[in-house]
Structure 1
């Protein structure tokens, strides 16, 4: 029996979920789907500048999982950019951080990384 898949922790849904070329009306082109957790990996590594190990800690998964998701996500984004395909962010196997009940400790939103308040 295979091991159950571990859900990835995501600290927020993307504000923008659909991307694509502006200079074409080719609606029959393929749409590429980027999962929410692949989006989170790109956000953490490329935008926030985290190492894969730090990203893995925040998402509560193994570093090898982050590495695989990152490679898959970059390939999808490149295919969209180079070949003019639509890119949609949706789906996946994730859980959202619950920031309504104080601080989100894995992603450190709302507090300093060492546990001290930002006051």
Structure 2
């Protein structure tokens, strides 16, 4: 039996979840970026964390962060270069609530968690 997948800690959901071509007649392929992949990009590229720091905040191994980051960058590049819709949805994560003063590992919320499957 395979080991159960460890949930990743995510400190907030994105405010905007769909990106893509401005053409209102778009009917092409969409790319799905999971909430965890979004969080990795946010932490590394926006907040400037190293992969090790990102792994600590998300409560996973550095190799997991590296794998998610590589996949997320590939998806974003495919969306930009090939003009595909990018949707942020789904995943298997633990969400820290928005009480940002109480979450010690990520400084973004208390530890009342909810399932984030979609």
Deviation at 1:98, TM superposition (A): 3.1
Q: 1:101 to 1:40 in 2, by over 3 A?
A: closer
Pairwise mapping of residues 1-119 of structure 1 onto structure 2 (< 5 A)?
A: 1-23=1-23, 25-27=25-27, 29-100=28-99, 103-109=102-108
The TM-score with structure 2 as length reference comes to 0.87
Q: 1:97 to 1:52 in 2, by over 3 A?
A: same
Deviation at 1:106, TM superposition (A): 1.4
Deviation at 1:104, TM superposition (A): 1.0
Which has more radius of gyration? 1
Deviation at 1:23, TM superposition (A): 3.9
Aligned to 1:78, the other structure's residue is in SS state helix
Residue equivalent to 2:115:
none
- Gapped regions of structure 2 (runs ≥ 5): 110-118
Aligned to 1:12, the other structure's residue is in SS state coil
Aligned to 1:5, the other structure's residue is in SS state coil
